[in-house]
Amino acid sequence: MSDLQTEFRCPFEDSPSDAPDLLTLEGVTRIFPGGQGVKGVDLVVRRGEVVGICGASGCGKSTLLRLVAGREHPDEGGIRRDYHRLGMVFQEPNLLPWLTALRNVELVLSRRDRVRALEALHAVGLEGAEAQYPARLSGGMRQRVGIARALAMEPDLLLMDEPFSSLDYFTRTDLLELVRTRVRALDLGVIFVSHDVREVAHLCDRVLVMGRTPGRTLAELRNPASGKQGRRPPGLVARFEERVLEAIRGGHPSAACPASSESCPSLRTPPEETLP
């Protein structure tokens, strides 16, 4: 564990394979009474990398996150946790409506630490909104507070469960870039769950593609755009998006949303200039 504190690794280097492991899943199985769940999942998450979990609805993405967070326990297999602190960001930030943005962030800190809460809010672009109550914030701003709250806890592993799925395209694009920047700056490990292949291709270094009944790994794909400095080359990202889609299609020819970017607006590749 001391390695986690002492080892320095440039967050922009090509591959994080020499970075310390934060989390290891070996043959993790959790089958619910109806036969659904996840079966035999292997996964390693290292410091400095964003690992996506992608697949059709019901393939066990959230179950896998609950297993990682210790809210669910495996029937078989093992989970080794080598991180100090876990942060979480969900689809809805669930802010307390009677507290300001600042107090919502302060609330999660073990002792009231205004400076750290302010820094976290400013890092996600919420300068000037500290005293606003959630009802006065846009959906994207509320999610920024949710991200600030998670990062203020200084996690070394961050779990994100469909964090942008209720947001519009432009807000999502902004927040994807924000998360990418913050994750690099803080050198975290991240598990990013989404059924949106575009999001996954833009943000993740590696993607676990899952299939259903029960949830299992169909493929584990490395993003060729990973490790590139600055804006990821749109051509590489688009090719990776295709590969992820093909892997999902391979497991689920009839999967409604991920099977076709034509039928699912959130999967259409947007104009290049607006890509992060």
Ligand X SMILES: Nc1ncnc2c1ncn2[C@@H]1O[C@H](COP(=O)(O)OP(=O)(O)OP(=O)(O)O)[C@@H](O)[C@H]1O
Whole-angstrom distance, CA of residue 3 vs CA of residue 57? 38
Between 61 and 232, CB nearer to ligand X:
61
Between 128 and 253, CB nearer to ligand X:
253
Q: How many residues does the chain have?
A: 276
Q: Closest separation between CB of residue 82 and ligand X, Å? A: 24
Binding site for ligand X (CB under 6 A): 32, 34, 36-37, 57-63, 195, 215
Between 129 and 245, CB nearer to ligand X:
245
Q: Closest separation between CB of residue 32 and ligand X, Å? A: 3
Q: Which of 61, 32, 26 is nearest to 212 (CA)?
A: 61
Q: Which of 219, 252, 205, 218 is nearest to 57 (CA)?
A: 252
Q: Closest separation between CB of residue 90 and ligand X, Å? A: 11
Q: Closest separation between CB of residue 35 and ligand X, Å? A: 9
Beta strands at 37-46 and 216-222: parallel, antiparallel or unpaired? unpaired
Q: Closest separation between CB of residue 205 and ligand X, Å? A: 21
- For tokens 């469960």, name the residue: 161
Between 39 and 182, CB nearer to ligand X:
39
Q: Closest separation between CB of residue 197 and ligand X, Å? A: 13
Joined together, the tokens standing for residue 236 give 């590489």
The DSSP letter of residue 167 is S
Q: Which residues contact 188 (CB under 8 A, 6 or more apart)?
A: 47, 48, 87, 155, 156, 157, 158
Torsion angles phi and psi, residue 31, rounded to 5: -110, 125
- Contact in structure between 144 and 124 (CB atoms under 8 Å): yes
Between 126 and 193, CB nearer to ligand X:
193
Between 131 and 256, CB nearer to ligand X:
256
